[in-house]
């Protein structure tokens, strides 16, 4: 029996690798561009103390800063992508580290600009901003000046900045414990092989067809979190207290408002999401009961919720076949979208297959001047990799449209809308595959996949979002955050979201201690709003005509030229209302009914 080994990077066919020449022609060209950036850092100092002098000086300073950032984006992205090709390549790692050092030095040199602009008298700033020379930067300045009420005196801001390393202590401690110190032992998989249990293999064990393997992995994994729950409660509590402290110091009404402020998102959007999901929880409970019945088990536990109900469906796609399916599914987006994407995917936008040392997973990396590159580790026998490819292609086309429609200052879209274009593509792929399913089993498999995606992205992330809201409000009210309170809050949420007939194992109460996103609070709700917007927009485009398509393509072209809620509203979905989330969960309900009838 032979063992398959991954090829070394230099053994991979160049046509299967991305071509980074749109960023830098080669490493020698990168060196020249790097030196140019290095030489320009000192120019920042020539503007210190002069930003309020005149519109000419301010426009010149902002233009220089923009041009510096534009070149730095190319240089930094080239170095980063080179490291992902082979993480054992020391030359690439050195390029990345050198750029990171340059970026830190440039950040320090430019650090005076923001506080100096905010210190300019409001009347004077209005006069400067009204000058036509500053027209390209007007929105940029308006967004910066929104922070006036939340900007302290120079000395106060300096003291807050000096606390940065202390403020990250709780998160750093969690990461060290979670990523380095926890050991989960070995476990035997369904084929009798000994496997080291880790964060990565835990997910693999939860989709094992053998329930005994899933159960053992679940209990063995959570033993470690039980053993360290006091430490984990302390780190999570410390992170929450940090959020509360900074929100109060910066004059925000709450830590939630502080987190939503950069995107100009009202707290109502957050609350509407929770309310809409809460209202639809009976449909989630119904799906879990359908899953229990179709799996032929008397009781359903958390370790029964990830394995596909139907595991016998096999699909095989070569790269070109996957591209064909994706392009056919995206035909509703028009000839320009499909044509550009086809040239990129059949050309050299993507680094297609695994090789030794290559970064795992997948991502899209778009820039203003370069191609919107896609890293894949494509496997022909894994249907989910086709979904991953269309997902990343959605990001890339979002970057492509925005870079060609907006100036550099406003092309880069925010995280709030980042997942819309990618999950929109997944919706179109699902719609296409369902229409072309070979039989009821394949259709049921696809529906099950869609249901689990909505449950994981909308329902689960909203439960996380509600946990963050409750715990931060407790801290703001001076209530203690202990192991007992964390577990009590989390269990109440588990019962509400999974339903009265779902078995909540005691270990699951400790799930709140292992979620890295909780150390970057009030972020996960964007996954839920992003998919909800994508579902609503995909239905709108599929059921509409030219106007609906034009609205969506205009959204892709918008970059950050408007606030994210305004971009989505112009595309046809109002995220300040509960309807988009309700539409997604209504789709969840109807698909559950169909799944129940199919199998």
Tens of pLDDT, residue by residue over 430-475, are: 999 999 999 999 999 999 999 999 999 999 999 999 999 999 999 9
- Check 392, 409, 419, 426 and give the catalytic one: 392
DSSP secondary structure letter of residue 426: H
Query: Is 392 an active-site residue?
Result: yes
Distance (Å, rounded) from C-alpha 79 to C-alpha 392? 20
Q: Which residues pair with 194 in a beta bridge?
A: 188
C-alpha to C-alpha distance for 273 and 288, rounded to whole angstroms: 21
344 in Cβ contact with 319 (< 8 Å) = no
DSSP class of residue 263 equals G
State the angle between helix axes of 229-249 and 483-498 in degrees (0 to 180), rounded to the nearest 10. 90
State the sign of the Cα–Cα–Cα–Cα dihedral 242, 245, 251, 254: positive
pLDDT of residue 496: 98
**Distance from C-alpha of 265 to C-alpha of 524, rounded to nearest angstrom:** 14
Which pairing describes strands 186-188 and 373-375: parallel, antiparallel, or unpaired? unpaired
| 403 contacts 367 by C-beta, under 8 angstroms | yes
Ramachandran assignment for 367, one of left (phi > 0), alpha (psi -120 to 50 degrees), beta (any other): beta
DSSP state for residue 8 in the 8-state scheme: P
Chain centre to alpha carbon of residue 122? 36
The DSSP call for residue 331 is G
Q: What's the pLDDT score for residue 481?
A: 97
Chosen CATH of 11-151 out of 1.10.357.10, 3.60.15.10, 1.20.140.70, 1.10.3720.10: 1.20.140.70
DSSP state of 6: P
The count of other CB atoms within 10 Å of the CB of residue 51 is 20
- CA–CA gap between residue 498 and residue 494 (Å, rounded): 6
- As a whole number of angstroms, the distance between CA 362 and CA 329 comes to 21
pLDDT of residue 4: 59
The whole-number pLDDT of residue 317 equals 95
Domain 171-298+459-524 CATH class label: mainly alpha
Instruction: State the chain's maximal CA–CA distance in angstroms.
Output: 78
State the CB neighbour count (10 A cutoff) for residue 385: 18
In this structure, are strands 373-375 and 363-365 parallel, antiparallel, or unpaired?
antiparallel
Strands (E), 315-439: 350-351, 363-365, 373-375
424-459 per-residue burial string, b: 16 or more CB within 10 A, e: under 16: bbbbbbbbbbeeebeeeebbbbbbbbbbbbbbebbb
Alpha carbons 442 and 447: distance in angstroms, whole number: 9
Q: For residue 381, how many other CB atoms are within 10 A of its CB?
A: 9
Predicted local distance difference test score (pLDDT) of residue 162: 84
Distances (CA, A) of 163 to 158, 258, 337, 521: 9, 18, 47, 18
> pLDDT (tens digit, 9 = 90+) per residue, 557-590?
999 999 999 999 999 999 999 999 999 999 999 9
Pairing of strands 194-196, 363-365: unpaired
461, 427, 414: which is closest to 566 by C-alpha? 414
Say whether 449 sits in a helix, a strand or coil. Answer: helix
The structural domains of the chain, with segments of one domain joined by +, span 11-151, 171-298+459-524
pLDDT tens across the length of the chain (599 residues): 344 588 999 999 999 999 999 999 999 999 999 999 999 999 999 999 999 999 999 999 999 999 999 999 999 999 999 999 999 999 999 999 999 999 999 999 999 999 999 999 999 999 999 999 999 999 999 999 999 999 988 788 888 888 888 888 999 999 999 988 999 999 999 999 999 999 889 998 999 999 999 999 999 999 999 999 999 999 999 999 999 999 999 999 999 999 999 999 999 999 999 999 999 999 999 999 999 999 999 999 999 999 999 877 788 999 999 999 999 999 999 999 999 999 999 999 999 999 999 998 999 999 999 999 999 999 999 899 999 999 999 999 999 999 999 999 999 999 999 999 999 999 999 999 999 999 999 999 999 999 999 999 999 999 999 999 999 999 999 999 999 999 999 999 999 999 999 999 999 999 999 999 999 999 999 999 999 999 999 999 999 999 999 999 999 999 999 999 999 999 999 999 999 999 999 999 999 999 999 98
Separation between Cα atoms, residue 318 and residue 321, nearest integer Å: 5
């Amino acid at each position: 029996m032979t063992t398959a080994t991954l090829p070394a990077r230099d053994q991979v066919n160049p046509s299967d690798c991305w071509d980074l020449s749109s960023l830098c022609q080669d490493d020698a060209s990168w060196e020249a561009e790097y030196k140019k950036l290095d030489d320009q850092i000192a120019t920042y100092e020539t503007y210190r103390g002069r930003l309020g002098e005149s519109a000419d000086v301010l426009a010149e300073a902002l233009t220089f800063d923009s041009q510096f950032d534009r070149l730095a984006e190319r240089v930094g992205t080239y170095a980063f992508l080179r490291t992902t090709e082979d993480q054992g390549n020391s030359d690439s790692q050195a390029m990345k580290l050198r750029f990171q050092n340059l970026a830190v030095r440039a950040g320090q040199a430019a650090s005076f600009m923001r506080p100096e602009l905010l210190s300019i008298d409001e009347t004077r700033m209005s006069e400067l901003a009204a000058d036509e020379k500053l027209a390209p930067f007007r929105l940029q300045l308006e967004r910066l000046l929104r922070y006036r009420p939340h900007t302290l005196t120079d000395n106060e801001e300096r003291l807050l900045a000096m606390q940065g390393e202390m403020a990250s202590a709780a998160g750093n401690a969690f990461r060290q414990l979670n990523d380095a110190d926890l050991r989960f032992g070995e476990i035997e998989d369904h084929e009798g092989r000994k496997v080291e249990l880790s964060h990565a293999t835990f997910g693999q064990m939860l989709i094992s067809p053998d329930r005994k393997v899933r159960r053992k992995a679940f209990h063995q994994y959570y033993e470690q979190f039980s053993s360290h729950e006091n430490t984990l409660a302390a780190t999570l509590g410390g992170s929450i207290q940090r959020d509360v402290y900074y929100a109060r110091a910066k004059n925000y009404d709450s830590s939630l408002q502080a987190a939503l402020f950069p995107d100009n998102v009202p707290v109502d959007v957050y609350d509407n999401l929770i309310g809409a999901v809460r209202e639809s929880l009976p449909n989630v409970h119904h799906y879990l009961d359908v899953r229990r019945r179709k799996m032929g088990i008397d009781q359903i536990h958390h370790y029964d919720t990830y394995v596909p109900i139907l595991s016998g469906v096999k699909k095989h796609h070569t790269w070109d076949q996957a591209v064909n399916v994706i392009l056919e599914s995206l035909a509703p987006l028009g000839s320009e979208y499909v044509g550009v994407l086809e040239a990129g995917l059949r050309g050299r936008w993507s680094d297609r297959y695994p090789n030794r040392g290559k970064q795992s997973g997948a991502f899209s990396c778009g820039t203003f001047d370069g191609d919107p590159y896609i890293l894949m580790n494509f496997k022909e026998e894994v249907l989910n990799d086709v979904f991953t490819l269309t997902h990343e292609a959605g990001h890339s086309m979002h970057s492509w449209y925005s870079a060609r429609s907006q100036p550099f200052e406003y092309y880069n879209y925010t995280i709030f809308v980042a997942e819309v274009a990618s999950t929109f593509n997944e919706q179109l792929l699902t719609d296409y595959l369902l229409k072309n399913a070979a039989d009821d089993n394949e259709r049921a498999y696809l529906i099950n996949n869609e249901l689990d995606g909505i449950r994981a992205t909308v329902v689960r992330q909203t439960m996380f979002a509600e946990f963050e809201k409750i715990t931060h409000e407790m801290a703001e009210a001076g209530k203690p955050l202990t192991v007992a309170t964390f577990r009590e809050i989390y269990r109440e949420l588990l019962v509400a979201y999974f339903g009265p007939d779902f078995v909540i194992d005691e270990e699951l109460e400790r799930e709140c201690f292992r979620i890295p996103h909780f150390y970057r609070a009030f972020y996960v709700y964007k996954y839920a709003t992003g998919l909800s917007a994508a579902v609503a927009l995909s239905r709108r485009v599929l059921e509409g005509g030219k106007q609906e398509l034009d609205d969506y393509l205009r959204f892709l072209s918008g970059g950050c030229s408007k606030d994210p809620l305004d971009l989505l509203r112009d595309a046809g979905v109002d995220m300040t209302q509960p309807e988009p989330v309700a539409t997604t969960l209504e789709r969840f309900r109807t698909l559950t009914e169909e799944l129940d009838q199919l199998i």
